[in-house]
Structure 1
Amino acid sequence: MENSNPRRLRAADADRERVASAVQAAGGEGRLTLEEVEDRLGAVYATKFTDELAELTSDLPRQRPPREFAPLRHRAFRVHLVVAVALSVLLIVRWVASGVPFFWPAMPMFWLAVSLGLHARVRGFRRGGATAVPY
């Protein structure tokens, strides 16, 4: 029988694709030669178990997850952002219509930006993660 160790996990297609993209990225960065990429990709698609996949990328740096601004996932923050932008546009239109020589909307727009920053920070910590990705 092929699987002498009952604790070995069979690799899924998603596992193979994840490792194949890591190998291709390493080739694109110049960490692997074209021949090495071809050899490893052939081995990736021929593997049956996850521990074999791990061996194919053990000498490569780990890929970082894509950066995402976490508060944008939250509806309340998106509403806050839309309201802040709408108010800023309204303030600028009022300033243009008033003919005042100095840009008085700067201060209210500053406080709108501060409120957005605080909201983003609170949303990040409330969900258990920071708003900035530490890389």
Structure 2
Amino acid sequence: MQPGTRLRTSDTEREQVAEILRAAMAEGRLDLGEGEERLAAAYAAKYRDELAPLTADLPDGGRAALARTPTARAATRRSLRRHGSFILILAGVLTGLWMLSGAHFFWPVIPIAFLVMGLIRHARHGRYEFRYSYAHGRC
């Protein structure tokens, strides 16, 4: 890819920026008029570099507001439940293997401890993760 070429944006990228703008409007960071102008510009954008200025003046590029939306919080809760149920199933399997092995030391405690630490980290930092980067594809 040549340095002077501009990358076209996709509908998904435009919709992600529109979600950020809607969340900023809901928080009161953008008034209705300015929010509508930015939404129109987001949907009219043809290139990725046209999207970046729309959220540049929002805290953390607007991602913090997006993380506090009800949809994002519900997705985080679902993800935590899925992660927790996986750990419980794996702990049961490991405990069953320990019982079958006849070992005196309860060795499943070691992998279970690491799995629980991962779950705690997920719970503390498992907010909605905005995966789009305006720098995507740049050198």
Shorter-chain TM range is 0.5 to 0.7
User: Matched residues in 2 for 1:39 and 1:59: separation?
Assistant: 15
Structure 1 residue runs without a partner (length 5+) = 84-113
Aligned twin of 1:77: 87
Aligned twin of 1:43: 41
Please give the secondary structure, in 2, of the residue aligned with 1:32.
coil
The 5 A counterparts of 1:1-135 are 6-62=4-60, 63-64=63-64, 65=67, 66=72, 68=76, 72-73=82-83, 76-79=86-89, 118=113, 119-121=115-117, 124=118, 130-131=121-122, 132-133=124-125
Provide, for residues 34-65 of structure 1, a one-character-per-residue CA deviation record: whole Å limited to 9, x for no partner. 00011011111111001100111100123145
TM norm structure 1: 0.55
> 4+ runs of 1 displaced by more than 6 Å?
none
Provide, for residues 52-102 of structure 1, a one-character-per-residue CA deviation record: whole Å limited to 9, x for no partner. 001111001231454635583376414158x6xxxxxxxxxxxxxxxxxxx
CA RMSD of aligned residues (A): 3.5
1:134/1:17 CA distance change after superposition, 3 Å: closer
Decide whether the 8 Å contact of 1:20 with 1:44 is kept in 2: yes
**Which structure has the higher relative contact order (CA within 8 Å, separation 6+)?**
2
Instruction: State the AA in 2 paired with 1:77.
Output: I
Please give the secondary structure, in 1, of the residue aligned with 2:52.
helix
Instruction: State the AA in 1 paired with 2:6.
Output: R
